[in-house]
Chain A
Amino acid sequence: MIAKKKPPKGRVNNEIRALRREAGLTQQDLADHVGATRQTIVAIEQGKYAPSLELAFRIARAFARDFEDVFQFNPEG
């Protein structure tokens, strides 16, 4: 039998809302730029959805920032 490994604790936080406001973008603007729906951007900002690596990179590039300026991993979260 294959045992399913329990994922370790941890949470990815992000600075998308702050960076978006700083850049003067609406959620819809950002969504259009990265190829997602506005609802997905809302969910990511609220920490309700962890985006794929690809989408996370697209978001970081949309702000012309390094990945870790936008997303931070909190191992205790």
Chain B
Amino acid sequence: MAQAEKYAWVSLITTGIIYWYFQMRMLDGWEVVDQSPSRLLWVFGTVVAMFIIAEGVVAGFLASKGSDGEIEKDERDLDIDRRAEQNASWFTIAALNVLIFQLIAQDAFEGHSFTRFDASSTSTLFFLLFSIVIISSIVHRISTLILYRRPLRSA
């Protein structure tokens, strides 16, 4: 298994754990718990710090096993990374568009009953937007792992 592929596996697991922690801090069942701005800032800072530490530890550990003290990457690894990044971008664009559509639909069809969220709540918006960021990172890792198993032709 290529080092870049191992990195994707470990990074996927750590991202999953961090997202689980984030949900624990923000959700009560399926409901987003309203929290004070200082509490939200603390959650934001903790999650970002967890990402930086986890990525640093994983990258450092794999780099120490590489010949030049770096994670070995060649043109195929970079090609796969570029395509995975593209998939993550598509996910982010799609998710943001769904969010925008939902916001407009909530106002446009006020009388109708469908799943709604409180757009005036900072906690809800923070949870949704930060979830998109984290899930896009998960999409990136999963795409990487899938692309390593598929035949790859030059773009």
Residue numbers in B under 8 Å from A49 (CB-CB):
76, 151-152
**Given the complex, which residues of A lie within 8 Å of B73, measured CB to CB?**
37
Could you say which residues of chain B place their CB within 8 Å of the CB of A52? Answer: 75, 154
Is A37 touching B74 in the complex (CB atoms < 8 A)?
Answer: yes
In the complex, how many angstroms separate the beta carbon of A43 from the nearest chain B beta carbon?
6
A50 proximity list for chain B (CB < 8 A): 152-154
Chain A residues with CB under 8 Å of B76's CB are 36-37, 39-40, 43, 49, 51
Q: Please give me the residue from chain A that is nearest to B80 by CB atom.
A: A49
Could you say which interface size class chain A belongs to? 10 to 19
| Known A39-B1, A39-B2; contact A55-B153, beta-carbon cutoff 8 A | no
Q: Interface SS of chain A: helix, strand, loop or mixed? A: loop
> Could you mark each residue 111-151 of chain B with 1 if its beta carbon is under 8 Å from any beta carbon of chain A, else 0?
00000000000000000000000000000000000000011
Q: Is B34 an interface residue (CB 8 A)?
A: no
A35 part of interface (Cβ distance < 8 Å): yes
Is B85 interfacial (CB 8 A cutoff)?
no
B5 on the interface (CB 8 Å rule)? yes
B55 interfacial contact with A, CB 8 Å: no
B59-79 vs A, CB cutoff 8 Å, 1 = contact: the mask equals: 000000000000011111100
Q: Does A48 contact B (CB under 8 A)?
A: yes
CB-defined contacts of B75 to chain A, threshold 8 Å: 36, 40, 51-52, 55
A36 contacts B74, CB within 8 Å? yes
Instruction: Tell me the nearest residue of chain B to A31, going by C-beta.
Output: B74
How distant is the Cα of A37 from the Cα of B7 in the complex, in angstroms?
15
| B77 adjacent to A37 (CB under 8 Å) | yes
Chain A residues, CB < 8 A from B2: 37, 39-40
Known: A47-B151, A48-B151, A49-B76. 7 other contacts (CB 8 A): A36-B74, A37-B76, A40-B2, A43-B152, A48-B152, A51-B76, A52-B154
* Pairs of residues from A and B, 4 with the lowest C-beta to C-beta distance, nearest first: A39-B2, A48-B151, A36-B74, A40-B76
